[in-house]
Amino acid sequence: MLTLLKKRQDRAAIKAALTNPQEQEIQETSGEPTVVPSASPSDPFANKSWDEVQRILETDLGFVRTLAGFEEKNTFKKELIKKYKEQAEHLLATRANLEGLDLLWWYYMWQVDCGLLDLIHDDFRAAISRGLCTPQKWNSNGQVAYCDVIFKYSDSAYKAKVTFNHTYLSQAITDITEGKLAINAPLKVKMFRLAGKLLDEAGAKEGALALFEAVMQMDPNRGGCKKRLQELKEELEHEQE
C-alpha cells in the first residue's frame, strides 16, 4: 500500500514539474531524485531515471580520464557543460539541499577547469552553502575543495602577474574567519599568507599585519612571513610616532 502511494506521489510530482515548472517550489527534503523531469524537449535526460543519469555521468567521467591532452580534455568538458546544463539548472531550482548531487559538483568543476570561474563563482559559492559536496571518493569535502579552487585561481594569477578577482579570496577569508567555511590548517595558512601579500602590496598594512600574524600563529616554523611581519610592525610603529 505504501509503495503504491509513493508511486502515485512520484507521478503527480513529475506531472506538476512538466506542466508548471515555474511554479514548482524548491524541495526541502534531501536525497536523490527518482526521476528527472524536464519541460524542455532539448534536454537529453528528459524523464530518464536518476539511475540512468548517474550511469551516463559515470561513463562520461570515465571517458574524460582516457583523454591525454589538456586541450582534448577541455574540449570534451565544454561539451559536457552543454550536455548537463539543463539538468544542473533543474536541480538548482528544485532542490533546497544539494548534498550528494555529484552531477552538480562536476558541472561546476568542468567550468572551473575550462577557466570559467569568473562566470560561475557566485552560483558555485551559493551551492556550497546549500550543501553541495564532493563525490565520496574525493579526499576533501566541498568547503575545502571550494577554498582550494579559490586559492589556486588566485595564486596562479598572482604569480603570473595577471589581473584576477581579489574578492573571491578576501570573501573566503572572511567566511573562514566567521566560521561559515571550515578548512584544514595548511590550506588556511596558504590562503591567509597570499591575502596578506595582496593587502601589503596594496598599502593596507594593518590588514596585512593581521593576516601575517594569524599565519605565524598557525605555523610558526613554516609560515613564511616572519621577516615581513616584523618589518610591518616597525613601519606601523614608526608611522604612529
pLDDT surpassing 70 at residue 14: no
CATH classification (class only), 139-241: mainly alpha
pLDDT surpassing 60 at residue 39: no
Contact 173, 212 (CB under 8 A): no
Q: What digits encode the pLDDT tens for the residues 43-85? A: 788 888 889 999 999 999 999 999 989 999 999 999 999 999 9
- How distant, in Å, are the alpha carbons of 37, 42, 125, 139, 187 from that of 114? 28, 24, 17, 22, 23
Domain-wise residue ranges, the chain: 20-137, 139-241
What pLDDT, on the 0 to 100 scale, is given for residue 235?
A: 85
Q: Give the contacts of 199 (CB within 8 A, at least 6 positions apart).
A: 205, 207, 208, 211
Q: What digits encode the pLDDT tens for the residues 188-197? A: 999 999 999 9
What pLDDT, on the 0 to 100 scale, is given for residue 92?
A: 95
pLDDT surpassing 60 at residue 29: no
